[in-house]
């Protein structure tokens, strides 16, 4: 760092920090869905990354259709793509829970293997439908360009949009989980499934809708992901480890812990990648998290559940 002036270092940290916000947004959206599924239901969903890819491919497909048949719609399609990604990924998650997951509750190893197999099936489906090459949607003009508060700092507009989208989704999840009657039923089912069923809560329906919600949020993450990178059949699997890392480091079932964890990991990787290689940045980040979890296994913020 000695070769940089103080002003240059400040600009580097600012630029990498804003770049980290884009990664933070995608990681947080992915982790929110996984925290709901893993933290609330105890299901290890190895196919969660593929539900993100569903959202990304939905956005790409809507972009192609808009360009080909409705060119005047190209400036507006992205908003519809976000909603459609949530719906399609949610429906697929609902069907996956009904056909597969509901038979494997309280069998974590079986759910891990089953959802890993599901992820392979989904990857091959992407490869068969869209091909092996990575694809990217055509982004509308209002998502292009950057905002320059100083001569040395450029903030990408798409990054600011994704950050705003993440804030809206996070607030929505908070309201659903802690301020709505549905969230109350989810938390009751998590704490005592037998008693919840005894007081009239349809626990099977709660499980199905919770899994669908988690997958739907992953679909939104996929739509957001298309603004920062291209999408391929294995794109989702590349992010699943980071997403689990965020959830475990933050503390399973802790919304605030998930936010803090995603921010810490994204910023650490983004800033370290500027000074060292990307792989070494990931190794250092992972080692730091492992050491922290050895000292505090419950993560940053442990959820308090009455036994």
Chain mean pLDDT for the chain? 84
Domain annotation covers residue 206: yes
Residue 256 lies in a domain: no
pLDDT value of position 259: 84
Whether 257 maps to a domain, the answer reads: no
Query: Which element (helix H / strand E) includes 150?
Result: strand 146-150
SS3 at position 272: helix
| pLDDT digit string, tens, across residues 134-182 | 999 988 888 887 666 666 666 778 888 888 999 999 999 889 888 888 8
Lowest mean pLDDT among 17-26, 64-73, 113-122, 298-307: 298-307
Higher pLDDT, 21 or 71: 71
Based on the structure, what is the number of domains in the chain? 1
Which candidate, 116, 129, 119, 111, places its Cα nearest to that of 92?
A: 119
Domain assignment present for 145: yes
Rounded to whole angstroms, how far apart are CA atoms 194 and 26?
36
Query: How many whole angstroms separate alpha carbon 170 and alpha carbon 175?
Result: 9
Measured between alpha carbons, how far is 125 from 306 in angstroms, rounded to an integer?
43
- Identify whether 209 is part of a domain: yes
157-186 exposure pattern, b = at least 16 Cβ within 10 A, e = fewer:
bbbbbbbebbeebbeebeeebeeeeebebb
The partner residues of 33 in beta bridges, in order of sequence, read: none
Residue 104: predicted pLDDT: 85
Beta bridge partners of 146: 156
Q: Are 131 and 241 in contact (CB under 8 A)?
A: no
**pTM (2 d.p.):** 0.86
The residue that leads in pLDDT, 264 or 78, is 78
253, part of any domain? no
SS3 content of the chain, % helix, strand, coil (to 5): 75, 5, 20
Is residue 252 assigned to a domain?
Answer: no
For residues 77 and 67, give the distance between their C-alpha atoms in angstroms, rounded to a whole number: 10
Tracing tokens 């998590």 back to the chain, one arrives at 190
Q: Which domain holds residue 159?
A: 20-240
Instruction: Give yes or no for residue 109 having a pLDDT over 90.
Output: no
Residue 300 inside a domain? The answer is no
């Amino acid at each position: 760092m000695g070769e940089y002036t103080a002003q240059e270092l400040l600009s580097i940290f600012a630029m990498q920090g804003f770049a980290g916000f884009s990664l933070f947004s995608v990681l947080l959206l992915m982790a929110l869905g996984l925290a709901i599924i893993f933290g609330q239901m105890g299901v290890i969903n190895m196919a969660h990354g593929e539900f993100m890819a569903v959202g990304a491919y939905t956005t790409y497909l809507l972009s192609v259709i808009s360009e080909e048949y409705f060119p005047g719609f190209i400036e507006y399609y992205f908003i519809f793509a976000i909603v459609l990604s949530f719906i399609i990924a949610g429906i697929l998650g609902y069907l996956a829970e009904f056909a597969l997951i509901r038979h494997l509750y309280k069998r974590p190893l079986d759910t891990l293997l089953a959802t890993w197999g599901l992820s392979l099936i989904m990857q091959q489906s992407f490869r068969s439908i869209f091909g092996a090459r990575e694809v990217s949607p055509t982004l509308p003009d209002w998502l292009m360009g950057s905002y320059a508060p100083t001569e040395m700092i450029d903030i990408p507009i798409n990054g600011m949009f994704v950050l705003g989208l993440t804030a809206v989704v996070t607030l929505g999840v908070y309201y659903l989980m802690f301020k709505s009657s549905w969230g109350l039923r989810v938390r009751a089912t998590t704490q005592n499934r037998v008693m919840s069923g005894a007081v009239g809560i349809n626990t099977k329906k709660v499980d199905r809708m919770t899994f669908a919600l988690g997958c739907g949020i992953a679909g939104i993450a996929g739509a957001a992901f298309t603004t920062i990178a291209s999408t391929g059949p294995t794109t989702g699997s590349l992010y699943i480890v980071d997403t689990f890392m965020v959830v475990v480091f933050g503390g399973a079932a802790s919304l605030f812990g998930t936010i803090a964890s995603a921010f810490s990991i994204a910023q650490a990787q983004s800033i370290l990648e500027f000074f060292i290689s990307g792989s070494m940045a990931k190794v250092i980040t992972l080692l730091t998290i492992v050491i922290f979890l050895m000292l505090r296994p419950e993560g940053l913020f442990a959820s308090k559940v009455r036994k």
